Chain A
Amino acid sequence: MGLRWWGPLALWGGVFGIGVLLVPLADALPFLTRANLVVLALHAIAAMGLTLVMGFAGQVSLGHAAFYGVGAYTTALLTSKAEWHPLLAMAAGAVMAAVLAALLGRIVFRLRGHFLAMATLAFGLVFYVVVRSWDSLTGGNQGTGGIPDLALGRLRFDTDTSMYLLAWGVLVAGLIAARNLLASRPGRALVAMGASEVAAASTGIDVARTKMVVFALGAVYASLAGSLYAHYVKYVSPESFGLLPSLRFLVISTVGGIESVWGAPLGSAVVVLLTEGMRELIPKFVSGATGSYEILAYGVALVLVLLFLPRGLAGGIAALTQRGAEWLGARQRRAPVPTLEEVELR
């Protein structure tokens, strides 16, 4: 952005404004509630972490919900049992998630491609099993509750709207952080690495360490979202952190586009709209179980997007604006950046 300080301010103010505008939009649509908006924002934050890992570090993680769970459970236990301040608990959760991610990354990043994917899947499930079995700490299958509202000074976030605006604010902060990261030196190293690990390594970038840092960062995003979730629902149980939530984050990241930080919010909005819209529309045409359509829709959406919009919605929009700009003569036709598929050797 070549503009001065008011450039970014306008941008981010605008983004926050869009978030605010979503509230009356949700009210207007009969099938969307403010509660849906909260979930939209929280999942966008978590998925943004996954986007950083997948899109920029090129690693796939099928166990991302585990970090979401770390944040949620840390907040739950520290605020309800040890009466910590919510912000401290949230920070503790983030630290734990980062540490776990770093450890996991160290172990797992030796693996490549499919094996890495499977390993992250396995670890996500191990986390799930451990949480369910460690009754004394986590309440096991029953879960644990009694989580207080999130309150900062005189501000209480105990309604759907306030929680949503807070989450959206955190999302915007996350977007800013991600963009700043990518513009910084280590960030550019990251992008370089995404394009070609070999080339990046040859310029002195510590590929292994960079990957781990990104993984930890992605985990922190998920953990923060998880902590907010705990304050929102005020009850945590293992079901919210198993395989299906991990897959949902995957769908959000992929559908939104893993090459852009805007992908996660876009993807989350699409998934929420799709889910709620179908919940509303399908029963009108076909009588039968409504929830089942969602699973099918995830799968079909994922497959279709990957086959036709492999760069996701954000990528598709970027391509459109690029074409538009070329057509208007505003930009030279650019040679496409070599993407991972072309660089990778089989």
Chain B
Amino acid sequence: MSEFLQFVASGIGQGAIYGLVGVGFVIVYNVTGIINFAQGHYLMLSALTAVSLREAGVPAVPALLVAMVAAALAGLVTDRLVINPARRHSTLTLIILTVGLAIALEGLALLIWGVNPRRYAPFTAGPPLEIGGAAVSRQTLWVLGVTLALALALWWFFQRTVVGKAMQACAMNREAARLQAINPAQMSLYAFTMAAAVAGVAGVVLVPITSAYYDMGVPFGLKGFTAAVIGGLVSPFGALAGGLLLGIAEAVAVGYVSSAMAEGVAFAVLALMLILRPEGLLARVRTRWA
């Protein structure tokens, strides 16, 4: 039993990250109808930026903040330079555009940061904590804490602020929202920036656990998307829950079945979800983002 808990403990940290990336997919998709294949790459950008800043001697808090802002900026630039000019184009074109963006970001990262993975120390030093017979590293607790805080912040944003409610309106019915003088192009900008910012947060808390490397965008992007799909692509909180489920499923599959499963699990889950239940496992949370 305790090894099951240990598997859960390992999976939950990863899963929270998948969930955060997935939140980005959900927000962008719902507001604009676009799946941004480069979503995972914002995580990569913030992770590597944070590492560079720390290596240059910048103290922890400013370095992380700057990195997160950098990710958000990248999202903003994505919307303005890549998405906006192509808004009228076909779905096919948009898909290939974001794929191209992802490739370009990865190439850029390779040029700037090189091939070697890099890392900085966990936020708080110390041995892992014993919880129910399983060892949970402190950084994992940070990840979970940050995720929870972000979830609350998102809830507040979508429920209590005008912009947040406008974005929800866009998500529910774009034409009607336009009639209410909500500008879809502006909403799109907010959506992309927010999605990238959330991924950016995930990136900076992830580095002590997995290191930062130039090609981490694709795997995290894919798993984030899977998390979003499990949640039905309708609600950011569904994505978070989906991510946790995916992370735990991965760890359990690796632990009990075989380690080759690790990669296959996410892809298989994605494939199965898309075929069997595209509306997601948690589809009840459909109309409101709370």
Chain A contacts to B: CB under 8 angstroms: 54, 58, 60, 62, 107-108, 110-115, 117-119, 121-123, 125-126, 129-130, 132-133, 243, 247, 250-251, 254, 258, 288-289, 292-303, 306-307, 310, 339-341, 344, 346
Contact = CB atoms under 8 A, between A and B. Distances in A.
A296 B90 contact: no
A125 B88 CA distance: 31
Task: Return the 9 tightest CB-CB contacts between A and B, nearest first.
Answer: A299-B104, A296-B107, A302-B100, A299-B103, A295-B107, A114-B35, A292-B110, A113-B91, A341-B90
B66 interface: no
A116 B89 CA distance: 18
B86 A307 contact: yes
B62 interface: no
Contacts of A110: 275
Contacts of B89: 306, 310, 341
Contacts of A250: 96, 99
A204 B263 CA distance: 43
Given A126-B267, A250-B99, A114 B91 contact: yes
B107 A299 contact: yes
A122 B107 contact: no
A340 B96 contact: no
B107 A341 contact: no
A119 B110 contact: no
Given A118-B270, A344-B91, A300 B260 contact: no
A149 B225 CA distance: 43
A296 B104 contact: yes
Contacts of A118: 35, 225, 229, 270, 274
Contacts of B271: 119, 122-123, 126
B269 to A, nearest CB: 9
If over half of A's interface residues share one DSSP class (helix, strand or loop), that class is named, otherwise mixed; here it is helix
B129 interface: no
Contact of A299 (B35, B105, B260): B105
30 contacts: A58-B92, A107-B275, A108-B275, A113-B95, A115-B274, A117-B35, A118-B35, A118-B274, A119-B274, A119-B275, A122-B267, A122-B271, A122-B274, A126-B268, A250-B96, A250-B99, A258-B92, A289-B114, A296-B107, A298-B100, A298-B103, A299-B102, A299-B104, A299-B105, A299-B106, A302-B99, A306-B96, A307-B82, A307-B85, A339-B90
Interface in B267-290: 267-268, 270-271, 274-275, 278
Contact of B108 (A58, A115, A296): A296
B92 A303 contact: no
B281 to A, nearest CB: 16
B198 interface: no
Contacts of B153: none
Interface in B100-138: 100-108, 110-111, 114-115
Contacts of B92: 54, 58, 60, 113, 258, 340
Contacts of A58: 92
B145 interface: no
Contacts of B103: 247, 251, 295-296, 298-299, 302
Nearest to B82: A303
B34 interface: yes
Contact of B90 (A251, A294, A344): A344
A123 B218 CA distance: 15
B111 A292 contact: yes
B101 A299 contact: yes
A65 B275 CA distance: 21
Nearest to A300: B104
B263 A129 contact: yes
A108 B278 CA distance: 11
B96 A133 contact: no
B86 A111 contact: no
A279 B103 CA distance: 18
Contacts of B100: 251, 298-303, 306
B106 to A, nearest CB: 6
Contact of B107 (A117, A121, A132, A292): A292
B232 to A, nearest CB: 12
A100 to B, nearest CB: 14
Contacts of B222: 121-122, 125
B273 to A, nearest CB: 9
Given A341-B89, A346-B33, A296 B110 contact: yes
B260 A132 contact: yes
Interface string B173-214: 010000000000000000000000000000000000000000
Interface in B67-103: 82, 85-86, 88-93, 95-97, 99-103
Contacts of A123: 267, 271
